[in-house]
């Protein structure tokens, strides 16, 4: 039986940038055991020597000529911005005051 503690979930939530409530952390931790048990079935088979598939098709790099093409105008690109200033996305402070 797999399990994940409330603190494990809190650490994952921080990595995923989601500020979860205490209730969410506890609920998710309690559900995780059965979910992990279900997905851990992938470990039941002997997979020695089996190649991994990351994608259903063979993918190759696709190149094109470096030509100027039409694209979104600045107004269009900024049309969904939560905040903007001087044709740029306005974002909250990224570096601390002292830096």
Q: 68 or 96: whose CB is closer to other proteins?
A: 96
Helix (H, G, I), strand (E, B) or coil at 89: strand
Q: Encoding tokens for residue 28? A: 């998710």
- Round to whole Å and give the CA distance between 2 and 60: 39
Task: Tell me: does residue 92 bind other proteins (CB under 8 A).
Answer: yes
One symbol per residue from 34 to 73: x for binding other proteins (CB under 8 A), - otherwise; what is it? xx--xxxxxxxx-x--xxxxxxxx-x--x-x-------x-
CA angle at residue 38 from 36 to 44, to 5 degrees? 100
Burial class of 13 by CB neighbour count within 10 A (0 to 12, 13 to 18, 19+) = middle
Give the shortest CB-85-to-other proteins separation in angstroms: 13
Site residues (CB under 8 A) for other proteins?
A: 4, 9, 12-13, 15-21, 24, 28, 31-32, 34-35, 38-45, 47, 50-57, 59, 62, 64, 72, 76-77, 79-83, 89, 91-94, 96
């Amino acid at each position: 039986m797999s399990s994940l503690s409330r603190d494990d979930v809190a650490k994952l939530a921080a990595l995923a940038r989601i500020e979860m409530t205490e209730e969410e952390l506890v609920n998710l931790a309690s559900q995780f055991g059965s979910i992990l048990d279900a997905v851990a079935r992938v470990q039941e088979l002997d997979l020695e020597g089996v190649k991994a598939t990351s994608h259903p098709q063979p993918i190759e790099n696709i190149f094109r000529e470096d030509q100027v093409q039409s694209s979104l105008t600045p107004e269009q690109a900024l049309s969904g911005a939560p905040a903007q200033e001087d044709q740029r996305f306005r974002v909250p402070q990224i570096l601390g005051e002292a830096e």
